[in-house]
Structure 1
């Protein structure tokens, strides 16, 4: 019995990745519980598990002058018969192992140990995945219902809410997809891992995977704005003036960014250079439109951007998307006006304002 238990513990420890001491502690609790339940005992007991000698149960009895409860106490005279050195108040351990305890213990311990093993497994999974929050993982679509797509991530299924699936994509069972881990929760049913395909963090992690300069810290992602499945903007910066951060992200013949576009099922991506100068940064963020002037109101964190008349719709974008993404990217409120409207409002005067803003 004891040898088999030890073999089972070693197997579970190696196979499930659970600490051996956790399993031994669970087994100890199970055996004490089995003894008390099956032998009607209130005694404070300790179970000793030895691979060579098997299991032994020891009652822990307090030495007293007058015994009132023989399941919890032992008289001083009886204690001295065991060892003359015992004094009142000390604890005597007396072996009380029942003859058929091995069979009963095995039955009772199985359920308790199984439960503790399950809890420990859940703890291991939680610890593994809590470190993956805000990270990207590849999984396989397992099943779906009205609320979630369930993505197999190895030890657990990730829950992908249907409202965080990009509107331009659909999946079949067994499709492999990349997902962004948004949060991990402990529940009574075990850890729950929630993932997303629409989170801006997914775009950021994809660039880190695809662009070595970002991974190595040579190029830094400063901000991401995303309307998943349709269009995104990302601003990048390199401290070294010799490095072209936008070019590094685009890659030779656009290969790097195209790989990310393909992963996101054709989502358009604007890569712009970050600048601490809001005039330059906002002008870059409104790409691909051209900009004549940016008027900055720092107190209200707002800007008025003037563009050529023929560029107005491009600057605003379809349903205001380009302007909206630029505002999210930069953190500035952006009001876009055409050149003619700006002149009517007195925001531009003189022929010198006809030139486009020089961002070099």
Structure 2
């Protein structure tokens, strides 16, 4: 392989793989150094010089003394014929491996910078019904991600590979097979980012999302605050005719969203978080970790919610353990079918 052939090969590989020529030249230098050390009688260390215009190469060899210092510098550039053989074998073996490493690193760097962001994706591969693999393979711009079972919304995407949807990038891992991008549809960060896309006031800092509690696929509660007294934080998130929140609900495949006003006062926060139920009284424990929440008898089922979900999300949003009771139960009056659960914040 002569210099002209090598230069053209570098250019074609760079164009085909979407890599920079400089990065490939660096790979070539490292690969040539590796190939040189496999020669009989090769020096212990070598520095390969490469002229990117002429593709002329020099090999400066060094020995290593007892103290670990490089010494006895000398030119050990192979003959043109031998250099051609080294270059050819390098391209066939070491170079292809190093190119993959550069590609993997490029993909890792690309997605590492997107951790905590959302991207569009679509299902490329779903597991067979009886497969031990429970994760989904998601096609994304610039690569693919995996969605573990723990990051999926139950039954949301199963049975359909049509259309695109947003996913939240949870983590980018380095593995032996290259970067692994973990994405999610159940992470609260997905809700935050979707509202950030729809509500300019969040981007500008005029409105802040203070807390999110979510039962993926069913219901979500978010607490919002205004940093500008002229702006209603709930109105900003809902949008004119509800357009903003409707677009978020559509992306979440119909998941219900309650938007409430955040308060630093625990009692007020609990009252807001229990929406749409009306709260009569809140009694917070001395240590501030638990609260008895009293609601009208006719509102008890609404306060608890189906399968306890409203009380559960309210507890998560406030970070307290909530004991929801009807007025009659709080007064010591027995009411049939009014069992009220104690709900932890976790």
TM-score bracket relative to the smaller structure: 0.7 to 0.9
Deviation at 1:17, TM superposition (A): 5.0
Q: 1:161 to 1:35 in 2, by over 3 A?
A: closer
Q: Which residue does the alignment assign to 2:171?
A: 183
Q: Which residue does the alignment assign to 1:128?
A: 110
Whether the aligned pair in 2 keeps the contact of 1:292 and 1:308 (CA below 8 Å) is: yes
Q: Which residue does the alignment assign to 1:107?
A: 89
- Output the CA distance in 2 between the equivalents of 1:57 and 1:19: 23
Whether the aligned pair in 2 keeps the contact of 1:224 and 1:232 (CA below 8 Å) is: yes
- Output the CA distance in 2 between the equivalents of 1:309 and 1:99: 94
Whether the aligned pair in 1 keeps the contact of 2:168 and 2:183 (CA below 8 Å) is: yes
Q: 1:319 to 1:90 in 2, by over 3 A?
A: closer
Q: Which residue does the alignment assign to 1:208?
A: 196
- Output the CA distance in 2 between the equivalents of 1:53 and 1:169: 57
Tell me the TM-score normalized by structure 1.
0.80
1:180-329 maps to which residues of 2 (within 5 A)? 180-329=168-317
Q: Which residue does the alignment assign to 2:151?
A: 164
Tell me the TM-score normalized by structure 2.
0.83
Pairwise CA RMSD of aligned residues?
A: 2.4
Q: Which residue does the alignment assign to 2:32?
A: 31
- Output the CA distance in 1 between the equivalents of 2:137 and 2:231: 42
Whether the aligned pair in 1 keeps the contact of 2:36 and 2:42 (CA below 8 Å) is: no
- Output the CA distance in 2 between the equivalents of 1:166 and 1:111: 44
SS of 2:154's equivalent in the other structure is: coil
Q: 1:102 to 1:271 in 2, by over 3 A?
A: same
Counterpart among 116, 119, 129 of residue 137 in structure 1: 119
Residues 327-347 of structure 1, C-alpha deviations (whole Å, 9 max, x = no match):
0001121111211222339xx
Deviation at 1:312, TM superposition (A): 1.1
Whether the aligned pair in 1 keeps the contact of 2:7 and 2:55 (CA below 8 Å) is: no
SS of 1:41's equivalent in the other structure is: coil
Whether the aligned pair in 2 keeps the contact of 1:290 and 1:311 (CA below 8 Å) is: yes
- Output the CA distance in 1 between the equivalents of 2:315 and 2:136: 32
Q: 1:110 to 1:276 in 2, by over 3 A?
A: same
- Give 1 or 2 for the bigger CA radius of gyration: 1
* Total equivalences in the alignment: 318
Is there any run of 5+ residues in structure 2 with no aligned partner, and where?
Answer: 64-70, 128-132, 334-346
